[in-house]
Amino acid sequence: MAYSVPKLADYSPAALDQAVRELLSAVRQEAEAARTENDWKVFRDRWMARKNGLLTQVNDLWLKAAPGPAKRNVGARVNQIRTEVEQAVDSAQQRVSGSASAGRLELERIDITLPGIRRPLGAEHPVLRTMNEIVSVFRAMGYSVAEGPEIETDYLNFEALNFPPNHPARDTQDTIFVAGQEKKPQRDRLLLRTHTSPVQIRAMMATPPPIRVVVPGKVHRADTADATHSPIFHQVEGLAVDTNITFCDLKGTLDHAMKSLFGSDVKTRFFPSFFPFTEPSADVSITCFKCGGKGCRLCKMSGWIELLGCGMVDPNVFNFVQGNGYDARKVSGFAFGMGVERITMLKYGIDDIQLFYQGDVRFLEQFA
């Protein structure tokens, strides 16, 4: 049965001692019985509530009711009771909250013997890896890196690169134009760049000669996707302009670059070719890096693999830069460009360009 404060009839020291002992024994038992935060609050309020708490009752029933001569003695004991009740309430609180946090610790316990969750690490996409490799070969030769927008004007994508309007080379590019520009003059019409070459013009307009710049980037053509074609692919293009740049510089630069990329045994071969923005122009083949030139399936038994296009910058292109020191009578230069997907496919023996864009982790993780 719960303790209640009795009225005192006998105020003798012995009777007071007895009453105090009973009260303190009750408060200790109740303090120990409190298990939860809520138990403790009930316990605290039962004893310490200002209105009708047991301490208030002790004050009213024992001290206020005490006859004059006993008041001093009763008052001392009431003070002792108050101190002991406060201590009991405090220590019960500590015990209850201590066990609550112990319970929380138990809930949040980490079993360090469980095997961990291994998150797959990301890796460079094979196309980006090849592109970075090519760029770093030219950076080592002192080239800076330039990038440009993928949406270009007809002027920078074609005209300034010496493709006149109605030039047959424009048809071969299968250009994707931005819709709804029929009212604009042709040179202002926007298109998805078909090559990284407009960045050459942008670089020359921004920087006077001498310039050595390498341009990695994404390009777009209206090609139907198949094993060797994709409407989006990547190029790395380069441009060097200075006084007295000759075709020998071009050959030496590309020979060195191909040896850096494919191994020092690789030989290069230049064939006459045509690009509107270079004159003369050449296609470059390297000895097959798989069979070393003996002939295999990769090089179609020829021993050679055609890898990039290049040439001396056509003087007309300098005229389109309109100043900035690009005077065709004073400076000369060369340019080259290569397809990153094609090189990646050759390097890793990949036979379908679509694998690069399908995001299939089983394919991509081979390059991690």
Q: Which positions lie near Zn ion, rule CB under 5 A?
A: 288, 290-291, 296, 298-299
Instruction: Give the DSSP H or E segment for 265.
Output: none
- Looking at the Cβ atoms of 61 and 296, the one nearer to Zn ion is 296
Nearest distance in Å: CB 219, Zn ion: 28
Handedness of CA 171, 176, 180, 181 (dihedral sign): negative
Q: Are 237 and 335 in contact (CB under 8 A)?
A: yes
Task: Summarize the chain as % helix, strand, coil (round to 5).
Answer: 45, 20, 35
- Looking at the Cβ atoms of 300 and 330, the one nearer to Zn ion is 300
Tokens 């029933």 belong to residue: 61
- Looking at the Cβ atoms of 138 and 289, the one nearer to Zn ion is 289
231 burial level (CB within 10 Å; 0-12, 13-18, 19+): middle
All residues at 6 or more sequence positions from 347 whose CB lies less than 8 Å from its CB, including other chains? 130, 262, 289
Q: Which amino acid is at 211?
A: I
Nearest distance in Å: CB 302, Zn ion: 8
* Alpha-carbon span 169 to 293, nearest angstrom: 33
- Looking at the Cβ atoms of 75 and 295, the one nearer to Zn ion is 295
Nearest distance in Å: CB 262, Zn ion: 12
- Looking at the Cβ atoms of 141 and 296, the one nearer to Zn ion is 296
Nearest distance in Å: CB 306, Zn ion: 12
Nearest distance in Å: CB 258, Zn ion: 15
Nearest distance in Å: CB 304, Zn ion: 8
- Looking at the Cβ atoms of 19 and 299, the one nearer to Zn ion is 299
Using DSSP's 3-state secondary structure scheme, residue 2 falls into coil
Using DSSP's 3-state secondary structure scheme, residue 76 falls into helix
